[in-house]
Structure 1
Amino acid sequence: MRRGPDGIWQVSGYEEARAVLRSTATVQAGLGIETVEKLPSRFRRPVLYRDGPEHREDRRQTARFFTPRRVDEHYREVMVRVAEAQIDTIRDTGRGLLADTAFHLAIEVASAVIGLTESRPGIRRRLESFFPEKFGTPGLTSLHGIRWLLRQNANWLRIYWGDVRPAVRARRRRRRDDLISHLLDEGCSAGEILGECITFAAAGMVTTREFVNVAAWHLFGDAALLARYLAADEPGRIAILQEILRLEPVIGRLRRRTTAPLRLPGDGQDPGAEVTVPAGELVDVLLHQANLDGRTVGERPELLRPGRPMAAGAGAPGLSFGDGAHKCPGAAIALLETDVFLSRLFALPGIRMASPPRVGFKDEIASYELRGCEVVLTRRT
């Protein structure tokens, strides 16, 4: 725990990071919250940007969409159907781009959870435009800023008219067992539902695409790990994926703002030292470093060792899904759909990686983007 030269506190220890994420004296910061805070007060914020009793109640009401049983009984069939269709395409053409196939899978699964099932053709193109590889900074003080402002406003409208509005209209006529129906029952407007859909799209589509790619990259590059993965049952395969995710969190930095003085352990020099972070301060939780804390994850934390013994209370993927009130609710979905796809991909005879991915980074959240990884079949039936 230390204060950086920019005045932002940095937390890199596992227990300290978890304490910040679980604290009721911190609220969400970063991830575009500055823009959301400019919305009119009557506009309901997406769940990602709310805190306190309202946020906890919303999470309680929507938890049923993400339980392990529901994932298995409601979403597994979608995962299998879409994954097998993508694998068939690779089998027929002899090649495929992992970023494209993984994004298609993630879109279909997340759409089933959210309720975006009446979309007009082109949802993938609209989402690619909304979440480009390189973002500009919208604003009114330069031509560059104005161009990005107009572009993002146009992207919002395209997703609203192409995806959200058709789903809302269908559910106004007849409710379904999905998130949009729940939001309608809560009295949300179409604009508020659009905000929630974009939030869940980022969490459930964009991040899953990256994880599928990085997990495949590890498996292609480690013959022993791949053999272990192929020989394992589903829980064993997911344990391998969890360990990959511990080492490769898709989002490596979360930011919080303190609302009251927050006492945390110090910088590690003195085991008994404490630091008090004043109210109103920014705190960066460095997940990628916390997941390497040997006090929690054991010896040689930098090595990939599925099933490694973790300290009491620590999950196998570390803090890669976050913790506390804002912990990712879709963890079980992301892990299962990744396994459903990769277990079928690596079952293809002669599958190999023709070109490794191109790696990009988003420094503000310590996230990676993998593009251009092509797989080919060397033996086609």
Structure 2
Amino acid sequence: MNQTTATPTCPVAGRDDRKSAELAREHVSTFEGAKIVPGFAGAREVLRSTNVRQAGSNSSEITFDNPAHISFFFLDGDAHRKRRASVAAYFTPKAIVTRYHPIIDRTMAKLTAEFQATGSGVLDEMALELASNVTVEILGIDDRGNPLALAKLFHAIRRSSPRPNRSAFQRFFQDRLFGWHFHAPKIRLTAQLYDNHIAPAIVVRRSAPKDDVVSYMIKEGYSKAAMIMECMTYGSAGVSTTREFIGMAAWHMLDRPELKQRFLDADEEGQFAILQEILRLEPVSGMLYRRAQTDMPDAKGGPIKAGDLMAIDLRSANIDPETVGECPFALDPERSARMKIVGNYMTFGDGPHRCPGSQVALHEGRMFLDSLMRVPGIRLAKQPQMLWNRNTQGYEIREMVIECDKIS
């Protein structure tokens, strides 16, 4: 599934800067019956096609009785375009600079001060707190003064969710035979999310609406279930994936002092180039799915028939030498400029469902790392743990303990 050899023209043949490649080779899997779309060009064609529909996550188990109250992640066509347009204001360059930059600055001032005061910290939890603070602003929910606890609640709910590629037998066994027992942890955690974080925000926003997701949902008359679904979608995308991306980028820099220094010496554009190249090599989510609505006999990756389930392997697409050039496994920040293509390649997806919050995540990552990497004496205390998330088909970075020169 993944390409494993460098191109013959690569001057550093055998070099592989990826940290998550071996873990992915051991654990990556696709939905039963899915056809893997080969190559970057084939993947992009499928993701941009109007002849396919979203088929990832638990989309097959979603009821579409009222599309207006379903997260736009699961919608397609006009319904998706309209809903996506309604949230576009949260992700504009102006919103990023005026709304989220101040939050990032305040959070990083707090985190770096605590880090230097104690001389140690857990980087992945620091990243989690930052991502949670920004996501809370976008959503408008109540973090009860503990953004880290809220972020961990989002993660726990996602972890308790059924596998997205369950077989018919597994669904029968888990949903019918042991329904309540199997789903009880998620039900309990979801109730906690609504009662402690969403419901209090609804009370406040009814009398004082703001430009956030909760205010929008109140205005549109969302049901309780729809509100939970929307908040979970934003929470998973905005908190969990950003945390992993920041952790992975930090790991690369702390293991390679010359890369860290290059990042600190670069301007904003140069810093983004480094982060996007790391994301090309280490996409946080590894697999996307689409189902064909019509025959696509001339598809670049080979003929596709109506009804076919297609798996887009983002890792494989991001190392396609025909698109990324020579040395596809090497971390080369100048690659995108040389190849004249968006630096993160397929990491944030493509087409109408491309991640709407990608720029927010990049700004969070850039500002977090620019602040933290300037702390005198910053270093890894030990190599972090890297776990596999079967729902996202991607890595998780945990226990990234860092140290610095303590301020006495």
TM-score, shorter chain, exceeding 0.5: yes
* Greater percentage in strand: 1
Partner secondary structure for residue 359 of structure 1: strand
Contact in 2 for aligned 1:123/1:162 (Cα 8 Å) = no
Deviation at 1:43, TM superposition (A): 7.5
Q: Deviations over 1:112-169 (max 9, x none)?
A: 01111464754244224313499778824565x6433011111111101111111122
Between the aligned partners of 1:313 and 1:146, the Cα distance in structure 2 is 52
What is the match of residue 26 of structure 1? 52
Between the aligned partners of 2:298 and 2:390, the Cα distance in structure 1 is 25
Correspondence 1:192 to 2:226? yes
Contact in 1 for aligned 2:143/2:150 (Cα 8 Å) = no
Specify whether residues 311 and 231 from structure 1 end up closer, same or farther in structure 2 by C-alpha distance, changes over 3 A only. closer
Between the aligned partners of 1:40 and 1:78, the Cα distance in structure 2 is 38
Q: List gaps (5 residues or longer) in structure 2.
A: 2-29, 164-169
Alignment partner of 1:359 out of 375, 386, 391: 386
The percent of aligned pairs where both chains have the same amino acid is 33
Partner secondary structure for residue 275 of structure 2: helix
What is the match of residue 316 of structure 2? 289
Contact in 1 for aligned 2:379/2:404 (Cα 8 Å) = yes
Deviation at 1:307, TM superposition (A): 2.5
What is the match of residue 45 of structure 1? 70
Specify whether residues 177 and 43 from structure 1 end up closer, same or farther in structure 2 by C-alpha distance, changes over 3 A only. closer
Q: Deviations over 1:273-292 (max 9, x none)?
A: xx221111110001111111
What is the match of residue 283 of structure 2? 249
Q: List gaps (5 residues or longer) in structure 1.
A: 268-274
The CA RMSD over aligned residues, in Å, is 2.5
Report the residue type matching 2:92 in the other structure: T
What is the match of residue 205 of structure 2? 171
Specify whether residues 134 and 140 from structure 1 end up closer, same or farther in structure 2 by C-alpha distance, changes over 3 A only. closer
Q: Deviations over 1:1-20 (max 9, x none)?
A: 9xx99532111311111111
What is the match of residue 65 of structure 1? 90
Alignment partner of 2:303 out of 276, 283, 287: 276
Specify whether residues 134 and 280 from structure 1 end up closer, same or farther in structure 2 by C-alpha distance, changes over 3 A only. closer
Q: Deviations over 1:341-376 (max 9, x none)?
A: 111111111110011221111345421111111001
Deviation at 1:204, TM superposition (A): 0.4
Between the aligned partners of 1:153 and 1:17, the Cα distance in structure 2 is 36
Specify whether residues 84 and 350 from structure 1 end up closer, same or farther in structure 2 by C-alpha distance, changes over 3 A only. same
Q: Deviations over 1:168-207 (max 9, x none)?
A: 2211112101122222222323331221110000110000
Between the aligned partners of 2:38 and 2:98, the Cα distance in structure 1 is 38
What is the match of residue 353 of structure 2? 326
Alignment partner of 1:110 out of 116, 123, 135: 135
Give the structure-1-normalised TM-score. Answer: 0.90
Alignment partner of 1:202 out of 236, 242, 245: 236
Question: Which stretch of the first structure deviates more once superposed, 121-130 or 316-325?
Answer: 121-130
Between the aligned partners of 1:5 and 1:119, the Cα distance in structure 2 is 38
Q: Deviations over 1:225-250 (max 9, x none)?
A: 11101111222111110110011110
What is the match of residue 329 of structure 2? 302
What is the match of residue 257 of structure 2? 223
Alignment partner of 1:235 out of 227, 251, 269: 269
Contact in 1 for aligned 2:135/2:239 (Cα 8 Å) = yes
What is the match of residue 272 of structure 1? none
Deviation at 1:336, TM superposition (A): 0.7
Specify whether residues 133 and 211 from structure 1 end up closer, same or farther in structure 2 by C-alpha distance, changes over 3 A only. farther
Report the residue type matching 1:334 in the other structure: A
Contact in 1 for aligned 2:254/2:380 (Cα 8 Å) = yes
Between the aligned partners of 2:31 and 2:200, the Cα distance in structure 1 is 49
Between the aligned partners of 2:35 and 2:154, the Cα distance in structure 1 is 34
What is the match of residue 17 of structure 2? none
What is the match of residue 270 of structure 1? none
Alignment of 1:89-128 (within 5 A): 89-117=114-142, 119=144, 122-128=149-155
Specify whether residues 308 and 334 from structure 1 end up closer, same or farther in structure 2 by C-alpha distance, changes over 3 A only. same
Between the aligned partners of 1:300 and 1:363, the Cα distance in structure 2 is 29
Specify whether residues 310 and 377 from structure 1 end up closer, same or farther in structure 2 by C-alpha distance, changes over 3 A only. closer
Contact in 2 for aligned 1:295/1:311 (Cα 8 Å) = no
Partner secondary structure for residue 381 of structure 2: strand
Contact in 1 for aligned 2:142/2:196 (Cα 8 Å) = no
Partner secondary structure for residue 356 of structure 2: coil
Partner secondary structure for residue 307 of structure 2: coil
Specify whether residues 309 and 344 from structure 1 end up closer, same or farther in structure 2 by C-alpha distance, changes over 3 A only. closer
Report the residue type matching 1:244 in the other structure: I
Deviation at 1:106, TM superposition (A): 0.6
Partner secondary structure for residue 361 of structure 1: strand
Between the aligned partners of 1:154 and 1:171, the Cα distance in structure 2 is 25
Between the aligned partners of 1:240 and 1:376, the Cα distance in structure 2 is 23
Specify whether residues 184 and 263 from structure 1 end up closer, same or farther in structure 2 by C-alpha distance, changes over 3 A only. farther
Partner secondary structure for residue 69 of structure 2: coil
Contact in 2 for aligned 1:79/1:109 (Cα 8 Å) = yes
Deviation at 1:309, TM superposition (A): 3.8
Between the aligned partners of 1:304 and 1:133, the Cα distance in structure 2 is 35
Contact in 1 for aligned 2:325/2:339 (Cα 8 Å) = no
